[in-house]
Amino acid sequence: MPAMTKETIDDAIRVTGLRVVRGGTVVLPGIDLTVPAGKLVGLLGPSGSGKTTLMRAIVGVQVIAAGTVEVLGRPAGEPSLRHEVGYVTQAPSVYPDLTVAENLGYFATLLGTGDDDVDRVLEAVDLTANARRRVSNLSGGEMSRVSLAAALLGTPRVLVLDEPTVGLDPVLRRDLWELFTRVAADGTTILVSSHVMDEAVRCERLLLMRDGRLLADETLPELLARTGAADVEQAFLALVETDAR
Amino acid sequence: MSPRMSLATAARVLRQVRHDPRTIALIVILPCLLLGLVAWMFDGTPVLDTIGPSLLGVFPLIVMFLVTSVTMLRERLSGTLERLMTMPLRRGDVVVGYALAFGLLAALQALVLVTFAVGVCGMNVAGPLWAVILVAVLDAVLGASLGLAVSALARTEFQAVQMMPAFIFPQLILCGLIMPRDQMPAVLEAISVVLPLTYVVDAMQTLSTDADVAAIWGDVAVIAGFIVVAVAVGATTLRRRTP
């Protein structure tokens, strides 16, 4: 990509009036949001609030009823974006019957990168020692790290991570958040979802979602100042109550 | 479509199969056991020479149909297909990759089965053996590509298995194996014309009695046509965006 494009895009992701209906239920009634380029942005909300649907729309695999989704200034799902957007689904989407290295080798070939790239992402998620193990023999946490490693291949400019830390032990969660912070510091935009409100402290910016609508889009200090709450959990409750009135 | 992506996908599918010796055994050995059973039952009679070649067209079709439709469905359900759809490969690359991988397995299966039928069971055919192998390979590839096309209709692995009686049994009944097609009621004979197994069995029956290979080229062309259509249907039923 020419450096020009990189400079001129302020928002890596821009969603306008996005409406998604799944199985007769309105999941997103018409959401607007932006994700600034190069930032680590947390998408927080309870299970069922539409986080996954929103992320699927951003990576271009969701049928949408109305609205527009732009990534790096181009319509979501455009072929040229498939080299630049990495996506981690909620369940580890890797082949359980292949080894870690075989999985990453396949995805690397599809992206046109090589063995060096596989070694790099293995190191990033601390799985180098497990490269030859079959994925089905790994723990749940190791499996989700393989899935994350696959998304890091090819150094995408935008990473969309759907609950990558769910069910992991606290040490591993801390390590992964440090990894996200490092990757974002290198200029990658990261949108990471979680239903654990505590993880908000790790994010540069927060998007709070409930029932397919955006409750907040600001930094953590801004959110706490506006609601007068002590933490994100309290802020969330305060916003829901204001909303109900 | 890109050959690099199709080949990478085929290699990946074959690696998955290699890690699963039980499936390899089912693909390669099971059809031999079934044919052996028939040969044993009709031991001492010329029946194997009559129906044996047709059975070479039936067992691979069923086995490859099942294996392919279930594998493809697993890819859809596990989320790996969703990941692939966000990556720079085309839908055709996925389907062609699968067809190549299972086509190779199909070729192995057909080779082993024909060798077993002729070498161990003592089946005699009038036509050349290579032609029998060719039709058997095409037939197994046909099973794989039908499995790919049909897997889109199934939501669960349980349903995928049910697709076999739905799509294969009518072909078994009408292909001319149970009753010669020209003796069937006109409507059924007309239906059999649009079912691919009909042409496999016709080619095999021709090879069992006729030494002249030229008589099967029409059937071979029709089978190849069905394979191309099934692969194309498989590619169009893969959706990048899902509801």
Query: B192-202, pLDDT tens digit by residue?
Result: 999 999 999 99
CA distance A164 to A215: 22
Asked if residue A53 has pLDDT above 80, the reply is yes
Which 3 state secondary structure label does DSSP give B184? coil
CA distance B182 to A118: 60
CA distance B47 to B189: 24
The whole-number pLDDT of residue B76 equals 87
Interval A15-26 mean pLDDT:
94
Highest mean pLDDT among A233-237, B5-9, B211-215: B5-9
Given B9, B19, B242, which is nearest A134 (Cβ)? B19
Q: What's the pTM value of the predicted model, to 2 decimals? A: 0.88
The whole-number pLDDT of residue A130 equals 95
Give the percent of chain A with pLDDT over 90: 71
The whole-number pLDDT of residue B163 equals 87
Whether B177 contacts B54, CB under 8 Å:
yes
Which 3 state secondary structure label does DSSP give B187? helix
Please choose, from the candidates B76, B69, B97, the residue with its C-alpha nearest in 3D space to the C-alpha of residue A110.
B97
CA distance B156 to A188: 37
Q: In chain A, which residues have their Cβ closer than 8 Å to the Cβ of B14?
A: none
pLDDT bucket at A5, cuts 50 / 70 / 90: very low
CA distance B23 to B8: 21
Q: Which residue of B has its CA nearest to A27?
A: B243
CA distance A163 to A67: 25
The better pLDDT of the pair B119, B211 is held by: B119
The whole-number pLDDT of residue A19 equals 96
Across the interface, do A61 and B19 touch by the CB < 8 Å criterion?
Answer: no
pLDDT bucket at B15, cuts 50 / 70 / 90: very high
Across the interface, do B88 and A82 touch by the CB < 8 Å criterion?
Answer: yes
Task: Give every CB contact of residue A185 below 8 A, 6+ residues apart in sequence.
Answer: none
User: What is the overall mean pLDDT for chain A?
Assistant: 90
Tens-digit pLDDT profile for residues A137-186: 998 888 989 999 999 999 999 999 999 888 788 888 888 899 999 999 99
Across the interface, do B12 and A63 touch by the CB < 8 Å criterion?
Answer: no
* HEC secondary structure over chain A: CCHHHHHHCCEEEEEEEEEEEECCEEEEEEEEEEEECCCEEEEECCCCCCHHHHHHHHHCCECCCEEEEEECCEECCCHHHHHCEEEECCCCCCCCCCEHHHHHHHHHHHHCCCHHHHHHHHHHCCCHHHCCCEHHHCCHHHHHHHHHHHHHCCCCCEEEECCCCCCCCHHHHHHHHHHHHHHHHCCCEEEEEECCHHHHHHCCEEEEEECCEEEEEECHHHHHHHHCCCCHHHHHHHHHHHHHC
pLDDT bucket at A3, cuts 50 / 70 / 90: very low
Tens-digit pLDDT profile for residues B98-118: 989 988 888 888 889 999 999
Chain B positions touching chain A (beta carbons under 8 Å) = 4-5, 8-9, 11-12, 15-16, 19-20, 78-80, 82-89, 240-243
Establish if A107 touches chain B: CB-CB under 8 angstroms.
yes
CA distance A109 to B243: 29
Asked if residue A7 has pLDDT above 60, the reply is no
CB pairs under 8 A between A and B: 75
Q: Which residue of B has its CA nearest to A92?
A: B79
Q: Per DSSP, what are the bridge partners of residue A74?
A: A71
CA distance B133 to B203: 11
Interval B155-162 mean pLDDT:
85
Q: In chain A, which residues have their Cβ closer than 8 Å to the Cβ of B83?
A: 87, 89, 93, 107, 150
Task: Give every CB contact of residue B147 below 8 A, 6+ residues apart in sequence.
Answer: B64, B65, B66, B67, B68, B69, B70, B72, B102
Beta strand A85-88 with A158-161: parallel, antiparallel or unpaired? parallel
- Residue-range domain boundaries for chain B: 3-238
The whole-number pLDDT of residue A8 equals 54
Please choose, from the candidates A40, A38, A39, A74, the residue with its C-alpha nearest in 3D space to the C-alpha of residue A58.
A74
* HEC secondary structure over A133-177: CEHHHCCHHHHHHHHHHHHHCCCCCEEEECCCCCCCCHHHHHHHH
The whole-number pLDDT of residue B23 equals 87
Identity of the amino acid at B8: A
- Size of chain B in residues: 243
CA distance A82 to B198: 43
Sheet holding A213-218, edge to edge: A85-88, A158-161, A189-194, A40-44, A205-210, A213-218
ipTM score of the complex? Answer: 0.88
Asked if residue B237 has pLDDT above 50, the reply is yes
Task: Give every CB contact of residue A35 below 8 A, 6+ residues apart in sequence.
Answer: A11, A12, A13, A14, A41, A189, A191, A205, A207
Q: In chain B, which residues have their Cβ closer than 8 Å to the Cβ of A102?
A: 12, 15
Given A23, A83, A93, which is nearest B83 (Cβ)? A93
- Dihedral angle over CA of A18, A22, A26, A31, nearest 10: -20
- Size of chain A in residues: 245
Asked if residue B12 has pLDDT above 50, the reply is yes
The whole-number pLDDT of residue B222 equals 96
Please choose, from the candidates B143, B79, B31, the residue with its C-alpha nearest in 3D space to the C-alpha of residue B151.
B143
Asked if residue A96 has pLDDT above 50, the reply is yes
Tens-digit pLDDT profile for residues A63-81: 999 999 999 999 998 999 9
